[in-house]
Amino acid sequence: MHFPAQFFAPATLWLTLAMVVLLLLEAVRRTPWRTLNPVALNAWMGACVVVMLFWSLKGGFKPGLEFHLLGGAAFALMAGPWLALIGLAIVLAAVSAYGMAEWSAFGVNYLVMAALPVALTGLTLRLARRLPANYFVYIFFNAFLTGWLSFFCAGLLAVCALALADAYPPDYLFGDALSFYFLLSWSEAFTTGLVLAIFVVYKPHWVATFDDQRYLYAKPPG
């Protein structure tokens, strides 16, 4: 999903970059830096390295149509949405510094690969509060389903962006390319669900969005 800058107008590149800067400033403002758990912070740094590996191991057949796991949903569940946005910006900056993505397309790449998955994860976390407080609800709804949804929606947004930029024929994008994103989204779902299932059992203090009292010890209504 690393977009070449040549596909987009300069105004689009600058506009998306400005949006990302504003979003990151808000993320920095909302992150409770003084109360961050040092252990959780170490886990956050480790997650940055793992996601960087995901974004480096990519396959594809045309520029802008590269396939790799995103890890955005898992990152947001572990660190919380705001801290995940900062971490993913660091990841994209590192990938760009190594020449695997273009600096001039930073805004477009970030909105598709980072901002959208994190935003969807935050939305599903809110929706999950209306469901029964259960460990399996967290794993299957917040992790597995959100992992699938975040990846497929990011792929769909990528295809739409390339179609609007007239990079490839729409029939090819929505017929062939989108099917690959759909298939790979199940890998994202399985990875996210498995990682979160392991962490909430063995390292629950690494998962900022998992509440022991709610998901393990809450009493059923009635």
Residue pair 83/31 in contact by the 8 Å Cβ criterion:
yes
Cα angle value 165/168/172 (rounded, 5°): 130
- The confidence band for 217, taking pLDDT boundaries of 50, 70 and 90, is low
User: How far is it, in rounded angstroms, from Cα 28 to Cα 158?
Assistant: 26
Tens of pLDDT, residues 104-159: 999 999 999 999 999 999 999 999 888 887 888 889 999 999 999 999 999 999 99
- Rounded to two decimals, the pTM is 0.91
Annotated domain spans of the chain: 5-215
Least confident of 34-38, 76-80, 99-103, 188-192: 34-38
C-alpha distances (whole Å) from 180 to each of 28, 59, 162, 169 are: 35, 11, 15, 16
Q: Is the pLDDT of residue 222 over 50?
A: no
Domain 5-215 part of CATH 3.40.470.10:
no
